[in-house]
Amino acid sequence: MRLSKHSPQIINPMSENSFHPQQARIGIIGLGYVGLPLATVFAEAGYRVLGFDVSRAVCDGINAGHSHIKDIPTPRLAPLVEQGLVEATTDFERLAECTAISICVPTPLNKIKDPDLSYVVAATEAIAPRLRSGQLIILESTTYPGTTRDLMLPILEKTGMKVGVDFFLCFSPERVDPGNERWHTKNTPKVLGGITSACKDVGMALYAQVFDRMVPVENTEAAELVKVYENTFRMINIALANELSMVCDKLGISVWKVIDAAATKPFGFMKFTPGPGLGGHCIPLDPHYLSWKMRNLSFKTRMIELASEINAEMPEYTVNKVALALNEQGLSLKGSRVLILGIAYKKDIDDLRESPALDIIRILQERGAEVLYHDPYCPVIADDGHTEIPYLPLHSTPLSDELFQQCHAVVVVTDHSGLDYQGIAAKSKAMVDTRGVV
Ligand SMILES: NC(=O)c1ccc[n+]([C@@H]2O[C@H](COP(=O)([O-])OP(=O)(O)OC[C@H]3O[C@@H](n4cnc5c(N)ncnc54)[C@H](O)[C@@H]3O)[C@@H](O)[C@H]2O)c1
């Protein structure tokens, strides 16, 4: 029988050469902030990558050589597509072509902050009917300890195939930090755990080909917990910095100078800074995965609850500071014009997910202020039916001396590079600086 172009290759992953770029084909499900960089790293190591996404627009864009992810510029992606090393498809039948499949789909929280694993389930259910002997499946999406074993494994074993024997299942958390020029997908150490030790060995055999440093851990639960612990550590320390900023306001001391001075201690201290609230797809959400899991085991994660509470107060705290600044001018929020500088959740990126700027704008509008914003990375806040901001769409306003004169207060929410914050402060009637740039 002649194999067609799309026929599965029969590969024994335990054999030495099976993960050789000439032989292996890597499937990536979900081609967003995590999946596209991962696809790129594999392709740059010489692997043929087949990306799967439910969005036709995402696939069409990638197949045309265009990147929709800022960390992967189009000139980096286009040659890989041209050489046939990266291809994207919405045809999940083609999962059978892959030697290994990494899953990079979203893991959001629902309205009551419980994990929404429907995307992981959908991806696993897409794999199950096409699962073939020897395939390696690796979940990359952030989730609570136990997801890979309790949720994915039963779906895959329903096929009658046995994990660690017929197929291999691992968890390896993505640690990508969008916009970080020093640490990126390839050079950030990669943690990996398997359902069985054979799974871990197979997972390591592939990932060690492309990542600079692998960190194998005991099992999938340990790997899942590593990721949520890292982000919980960050979330709790940001909460402490936020509380310190409130303490400093009461004491009339500059929080920035206190933190900078503390950071001169060469041991036992790590610098975290306060801000307008948490943002992004990870830090505000991931700790809730752990607290949800532990609630099911009748354990209360008190540090997480308290830190979340403090961080969640920051947008309102920022608006109250704006109200105080207006008060100095004999004005109220109602009827005042407020300019927000930066709305992405952190500097120099275009990601608006969970951005505290959206909460700040909502509260300002609810209290009757007219809100304008400037963000070179985010030209519009559209009404997508989910946002609770009363008056949308809003468009980024070009900066001018006239604009600063027309606004009663300017709020630095995201400290994108390239703005002359000192100059803007000098031209503004009042400035609230949540990032310590002035
Ligand atoms: N963005 C980050 O900085 C970051 C960092 C570390 C970990 N993570 C984690 O990685 C995971 C993915 O996050 P992301 O930021 O890449 O998300 P994203 O929204 O940028 O991308 C997800 C992609 O998956 C696609 N998708 C959704 N359901 C699908 C399905 N059933 N089959 C195929 N494709 C599907 C979407 O169309 C989208 O293109 C999440 O669990 C996240 O917590 C994200």
How much distance in Å is there from the Cα of 320 to the middle of ligand 1? Answer: 35
The half-sphere exposure of 174 on its side-chain side, counting CA atoms within 13 A, is 29
Task: Output the residue whose Cα is nearest ligand 1's atom 36.
Answer: 30
The per-residue pLDDT for 178 is: 81
- Percent of the chain predicted with pLDDT > 90: 88
For ligand 1, whether the C-beta of 238 sits within 6 Å is no
Nearest to 148 by CA among 164, 162, 137: 137
How much distance in Å is there from the Cα of 333 to the middle of ligand 1? Answer: 38
Q: Is the dihedral of CA 71, 76, 78, 83 positive or negative?
A: negative
Task: Output the residue whose Cα is nearest ligand 1's atom 25.
Answer: 30
The per-residue pLDDT for 13 is: 60
How much distance in Å is there from the Cα of 423 to the middle of ligand 1? Answer: 39
Task: Output the residue whose Cα is nearest ligand 1's atom 5.
Answer: 176
pLDDT > 80? residue 18 = no
Q: Are 103 and 128 in contact (CB under 8 A)?
A: no
The per-residue pLDDT for 369 is: 98
Q: Are 172 and 224 in contact (CB under 8 A)?
A: no
pLDDT > 70? residue 12 = no
The half-sphere exposure of 116 on its side-chain side, counting CA atoms within 13 A, is 11
The per-residue pLDDT for 9 is: 47
- Residue of 98, 282, 378, 407 marked active site: 282
pLDDT > 70? residue 14 = no
For ligand 1, whether the C-beta of 30 sits within 6 Å is yes
| The token pair that represents 49 in the structure block | 């990558």
Span 367-384, mean pLDDT?
Answer: 96
In a mutational test of the pocket of ligand 1, which residue from 55, 171, 174 has the highest number of ligand atoms less than 8 Å from its CB? 174
Which of helix, strand or coil describes residue 337? strand
The per-residue pLDDT for 385 is: 80
407 is catalytic: no
Span 29-50, mean pLDDT?
Answer: 97
Residue type, 6: H
Average pLDDT, the chain: 94
The 10s digit of each residue's pLDDT in 195-207 is 999 999 999 999 9
Length of the chain: 438
Beta bridge partners of 396: 373
Peptide bond into 393 cis (omega under 30): yes
Ligand 1 atom at minimum distance from 178 CA = 3
The 10s digit of each residue's pLDDT in 79-137 is 999 999 999 999 999 999 999 999 999 999 887 889 999 999 999 999 999 999 999 99
The 10s digit of each residue's pLDDT in 379-431 is 999 988 878 899 999 999 999 999 999 999 999 999 999 999 999 999 999 99
For ligand 1, whether the C-beta of 198 sits within 6 Å is no
How much distance in Å is there from the Cα of 277 to the middle of ligand 1? Answer: 22
pLDDT > 60? residue 1 = no
Task: Output the residue whose Cα is nearest ligand 1's atom 41.
Answer: 141
Q: What is the DSSP string of 80-145?
A: HHHTTSEEEES-GGGGGG-SEEEE-----B-TTS-B--HHHHHHHHHHGGG--TT-EEEE-S---T
For ligand 1, whether the C-beta of 34 sits within 6 Å is yes
The 10s digit of each residue's pLDDT in 226-242 is 999 999 999 999 999 99
Look at strands 190-194 and 168-171 and give their pairing.
antiparallel
The 10s digit of each residue's pLDDT in 144-161 is 999 999 999 999 999 999
Helix (H) or strand (E) holding 290: helix 286-296
For ligand 1, whether the C-beta of 377 sits within 6 Å is no
How much distance in Å is there from the Cα of 76 to the middle of ligand 1? Answer: 20
pLDDT > 90? residue 260 = yes
Q: How does residue 281 score in pLDDT terms, banded at 50, 70 and 90?
A: confident
Q: Are 411 and 431 in contact (CB under 8 A)?
A: yes
The 10s digit of each residue's pLDDT in 54-73 is 999 999 999 999 999 988 99
Ligand 1 atom at minimum distance from 105 CA = 24
Q: How does residue 309 score in pLDDT terms, banded at 50, 70 and 90?
A: very high
Q: How does residue 177 score in pLDDT terms, banded at 50, 70 and 90?
A: confident
Nearest to 193 by CA among 174, 177, 216, 214: 216
- What CA–CA distances, in Å, run from 428 to 283, 318, 322, 368, 422? 32, 17, 13, 20, 10
Which of helix, strand or coil describes residue 20? coil
Give start and end residues of each alpha helix (H) in 135-285.
Answer: 153-157, 197-207, 220-251, 255-262
Task: Output the residue whose Cα is nearest ligand 1's atom 1.
Answer: 33
The per-residue pLDDT for 7 is: 42
Span 12-27, mean pLDDT?
Answer: 78
pLDDT > 60? residue 188 = yes
